[in-house]
Amino acid sequence: MKVIGLCGSLRRESYNRKLLREAIRLAPETMALELYEIGNLPMMNEDLEEGGFPLEVQRLMDAVSEADAVLIVSPEYNGSLSPVLKNAVDWLSRAPRNRVLSDKPAAIMGASTGYLGTSQMQKELRGVLSKLNMHPLSRPVFILPHSKEQFTPEGRLTDPGKTAKVGALLEALEQWTLRLKSEV
């Protein structure tokens, strides 16, 4: 199973990118989870669609189309989505008949330095994904509050409970994706 991982932060030492790298390490053997960088997309501008999508946008659309599911790992900015993530989702939504995102299974994770661990962003993101006819996994919910204290210098999660939960979420995403495929 192919899963594309999108990180909503461009920060060099991003906790969310560390979390996504941990997810890649902890993914089941049957899952090929890869990080796809979304920081080089142009800002959404419909004028740029004249004569076809920009190359970086088309590449992302192709990569998401080829994936069986999407894993989004993102910070919360002022109670909502980061502009980097929203920009990528908005571009993906511009594919003709929404054929890139429609019916695509998804899972959400997030790390924040605050104590709510991106729960507000996750709620908003769920709404956006549902509006685009995606199928975000509801459970297990994964939040990583107080992210400054959650990683070793090597980028490993310090809490074994959180480590196990990342694995559980990926297994749930795999099952969810297989179930949705079998129902088509």
Ligand X SMILES: Cc1cc2nc3c(=O)[nH]c(=O)nc-3n(C[C@H](O)[C@H](O)[C@H](O)COP(=O)(O)O)c2cc1C
Binding site for ligand X (CB under 6 A): 9, 11, 14-16, 75-79, 111-114, 116, 147
Minimum CB distance to ligand X, residue 99 (Å): 30
Rounded to whole angstroms, the maximal C-alpha distance in the chain is 50
Helical H segments across 30-159, by residue range = 55-66, 83-92, 119-131
Cβ proximity to ligand X: between 36 and 77 the closer is: 77
Q: Within 13 Å of residue 67, how many CA atoms lie on the same side as its CB? A: 27
Minimum CB distance to ligand X, residue 114 (Å): 3
Q: Pick left, alpha or beta for residue 44 (phi over 0 → left; psi -120 to 50 → alpha; otherwise beta).
A: beta
Cβ proximity to ligand X: between 2 and 123 the closer is: 123
Cβ proximity to ligand X: between 75 and 136 the closer is: 75
CA–CA separation, 173 and 164 (whole Å): 14
Q: In this chain, which residue has its C-beta nearest to ligand X?
A: 114
Cβ proximity to ligand X: between 17 and 165 the closer is: 17
Q: Which residues contact 56 (CB under 8 A, 6 or more apart)?
A: 40, 41, 42
Q: Within 13 Å of residue 86, how many CA atoms lie on the same side as its CB? A: 15
Minimum CB distance to ligand X, residue 15 (Å): 4
Cβ proximity to ligand X: between 96 and 153 the closer is: 153
Minimum CB distance to ligand X, residue 63 (Å): 21
Minimum CB distance to ligand X, residue 159 (Å): 17
